[in-house]
Structure 1
Amino acid sequence: MSVPLQDPRGPHEPASPAPRRALRMQRTLVAAASVAVVLGFVALALPSPFIVESPGPAINTVGVVDGEPVIKVTGRESFQPEGRLDLTTVYVRGGADRRIPSFQVLQGWAHPTQDVYPEESVYPRGTTDEQISDQNASLMDNSQQTSVAAALGSLDIAFGQRLQVAELAAATNEDVLAAGDVLKRIEGRSITDLEMLRGALQAAGEEPVALDIERDGEDLSVEAATTASPEGQRQLGVFLQTEFTFPFDVEFTLQNVGGPSAGLMFSLGIVDTLTPGELTGGRHVAGTGTIDPEGRIGPIGGIAQKLVGAREAGAEVFLAPADNCADVAGRIPDGLSVVSVATLDAARSAVEAVAEGADPDTLPAC
């Protein structure tokens, strides 16, 4: 005789489906979270259309790099200063063919000494790494030439210069001027520099101007039309470049640095190299700024990062373009005095004052 087996716990209902549903929901949430985490990591690794600027090294323009003076003069007596006149640099990550992952952009936003910009605010769309490199090399070469001209002008050393058509910018004089033309005279007056040419064009108003030019070694006289720029300046519709003839050679041995912003510090370095004694008086000075042949200092990008790089290298005084003063507000590192300068002569005077013991904070400041 058989007896039905009974559960010793007594009668009970079948297990409820609720725990099973909860378990399935928990597994689903874990799977979704895992997918979200994976997608997040993938998103952070994707290339980003931003660039990140961070402090770069400071380089002494009157110093020696890899056994060679940064500025080398031949054909005239020169000196090897012992002071520090540092040009400053910025590391730029991203843009063109080298887009950086998004996590580096997030790090840049979070870092107090780095700045993040949309790629197209710095490089035109479609620009390649090769084009950027070529442009920076060209800007550096031009900066070196204008820095020599500015330094020689400050030292009252004569040199030659002439304006040459680099390329046509508009159709205004496409049948009159060509790339390579040297502009020698306007209305019978010798063209000494760009400012002189601009003044003569402005004085002529809407009337055509008589130009004496040199083309392929031949002298020609032409009549050129002008148009007005949005600012009202009369112009020939060409891009111009300046050819210099210096009485001695100035060689720059610095490699792998591009752009125009070292002009001011190169000029000061040349002045120091061509004159006996120490321009800095042993003080550590850094700075930045473009420069033109007349010694006018122009604004640059990345000045906040350059301030940090200068201070990390030990600089006490920083020469900043006057037009960049708004950009340094709230970004000046402790222990660094920032002096506002608009011309090479003003920068030279500031360095000489500091060398003689002046408190940098008593000089024009940003």
Structure 2
Amino acid sequence: MRKKISFLPYILITAVLIGAIYYPLPYFVSKPGMAKELEPIIKIENGYHEKGSFMLTTVRMGRANFYSYLTAKVSKYDEIYPLDMIMGKKETEEEFNTRQLQMMEGSKESAIETAFKKAGIPVQYRYKSVYVLDIVPGMPAAGKLKSGDRLLKVDGHPFISSGQFIESVSKKHEGDPIKITFTRKGKTDTANMSVKKFKNDPKHVGVGIGLVDDKDLITLPKVKIKTDEIGGPSAGLMFSLEIYNQLTKEDLTRNYEIAGTGTITPNGMVGPIGGIEQKIIAADKAGAEIFFAPNEKGAKDSNYRAAVKTAKDIDTDMKIIPVDTFNDAVHYLENLKMKS
């Protein structure tokens, strides 16, 4: 008589393995991403063309599952981050992604302002409203406002810029009530709370929100930047270099393949970013010959020092150049010998 074969154990094992793929762990995993040429992404009306190229660099960041976590453990340049290092407390992945895209929009605007100022071309602004970028845990807005909310009024009075909002709140004293009118997913609502002193700045009060202005920059010539779903502020420096290069006759690329990273402020200050090691790898794979890295005024743990270490580890010929400002990068390129 034939023995009956039970498939139940195999089914259970298969279910566990499939579950391990999809079950999210309380970590994020980041890996080297890509280096992407900017000239096809940024278009300036009647802008100048370049013979070399400027490239933005990215990391691939995603919520960890069992397999990606184990892979990252044994991969030298994969990084594992606890969930609360990447996302705010109670922040959903949707809110996190919204915040990343908003930071990218702010990065584009700062890059345009920096490049146009350097080129001596005026920029005008049309303010529309203010978005919530993030929430400070333990402050009055926590649990009442969310990243992505569009703020419309303070105590019934409309405002159109983050400066106006801060001015209204700064007139209050700790414990004073405040009513904020906002829209979320197309619906208008109000949030009532009391202002509170900031722990790290007890001379000032607030509700604990980071803000970003929703504004249109009016420029002549017009600028179009197509970034699809790329998020975060780290491409700011490279955006500003590409925009400036298209605005001016002299080709700053000097026929080189130039990558880099760093946030940018409207006045051209370059700030640090995460994942510099992974961006060095992405740039090297794309054939970059020069890489701009935030210098952080020579700090011992600066992005620049980490970039130099990684470049040495992977034995690349790519030159790592420290920059604190947009002008540092421009000055370096202006003095670079043309590549034949």
What is aligned with 1:247? 220
- Secondary structure of 1:152's match? helix
Shift of 1:255: 2.1
Which residue, out of 116, 122, 127, partners 2:80?
116
What is aligned with 1:81? 50
Shift of 1:157: 1.4
Instruction: Label 1:82 to 1:105 Cα distance change in 2 as closer, same or farther (>3 A).
Output: same
8 Å contact from structure 1 (residues 163, 240) kept in 2? no
8 Å contact from structure 1 (residues 164, 183) kept in 2? no
Count, aligned residues:
273
8 Å contact from structure 2 (residues 50, 251) kept in 1? yes
Which stretch shows the higher mean deviation, 146-155 or 47-56? 47-56
Shift of 1:47: 3.4
Aligned mates of 2:332, 2:321 — CA distance in 1? 8
- Secondary structure of 1:89's match? strand
Which residue, out of 127, 134, 144, partners 2:108?
144
8 Å contact from structure 1 (residues 162, 182) kept in 2? no
What is aligned with 2:94? 130
8 Å contact from structure 2 (residues 107, 236) kept in 1? yes
- Computing the radius of gyration over CA atoms, which structure comes out larger, 1 or 2? 1
What is aligned with 2:188? none
Which residue, out of 313, 317, 320, partners 1:335?
317
8 Å contact from structure 1 (residues 161, 242) kept in 2? no
Instruction: Give the structure-1-normalised TM-score.
Output: 0.63
How do 1:115-194 and structure 2 match up within 5 A? Answer: 115-161=79-125, 166=130, 175=155, 178-180=158-160
Aligned mates of 1:176, 1:296 — CA distance in 2? 36
Aligned mates of 2:108, 2:226 — CA distance in 1? 11
Instruction: Label 1:252 to 1:162 Cα distance change in 2 as closer, same or farther (>3 A).
Output: closer
How do 1:27-106 and structure 2 match up within 5 A? Answer: 42=17, 45=21, 46-62=23-39, 64=40, 70-74=41-45, 77-94=46-63, 99-100=64-65, 102-106=66-70
Which residue, out of 324, 332, 340, partners 1:350?
332
Aligned mates of 2:199, 2:128 — CA distance in 1? 20
2:57 counterpart letter in structure 1: T
Shift of 1:261: 1.0
Shift of 1:140: 1.5
1:120 counterpart letter in structure 2: D
Shift of 1:127: 3.3
8 Å contact from structure 1 (residues 321, 341) kept in 2? yes
Aligned mates of 1:131, 1:146 — CA distance in 2? 23
Aligned mates of 2:101, 2:212 — CA distance in 1? 18
Aligned mates of 2:234, 2:258 — CA distance in 1? 16
Instruction: Label 1:234 to 1:343 Cα distance change in 2 as closer, same or farther (>3 A).
Output: farther
Shift of 1:180: 2.3
Shift of 1:142: 1.6
- Secondary structure of 2:310's match? coil
**Runs of at least 5 residues in structure 2 that lack an aligned partner in the other structure:** 1-8, 141-152, 174-194, 297-302
Instruction: Give the structure-2-normalised TM-score.
Output: 0.68
Shift of 1:138: 1.6
What is aligned with 1:276? 249
Which stretch shows the higher mean deviation, 133-142 or 259-268? 133-142
Aligned mates of 1:355, 1:234 — CA distance in 2? 51
**Runs of at least 5 residues in structure 1 that lack an aligned partner in the other structure:** 1-33, 65-69, 185-193, 207-224, 358-366
8 Å contact from structure 2 (residues 234, 261) kept in 1? yes
1:331 counterpart letter in structure 2: T
For residues 192-240 of structure 1, give each alpha carbon's deviation from its aligned partner in whole angstroms, at most 9, with x where no partner exists.
Answer: xx9xx9xxx9xx9x9xxxxxxxxxxxxxxxxxx9977725786777746
Aligned mates of 2:24, 2:124 — CA distance in 1? 49
Aligned mates of 1:241, 1:295 — CA distance in 2? 18
Aligned mates of 1:152, 1:235 — CA distance in 2? 35
- Secondary structure of 2:31's match? strand
Instruction: Label 1:106 to 1:319 Cα distance change in 2 as closer, same or farther (>3 A).
Output: same
8 Å contact from structure 2 (residues 161, 213) kept in 1? no
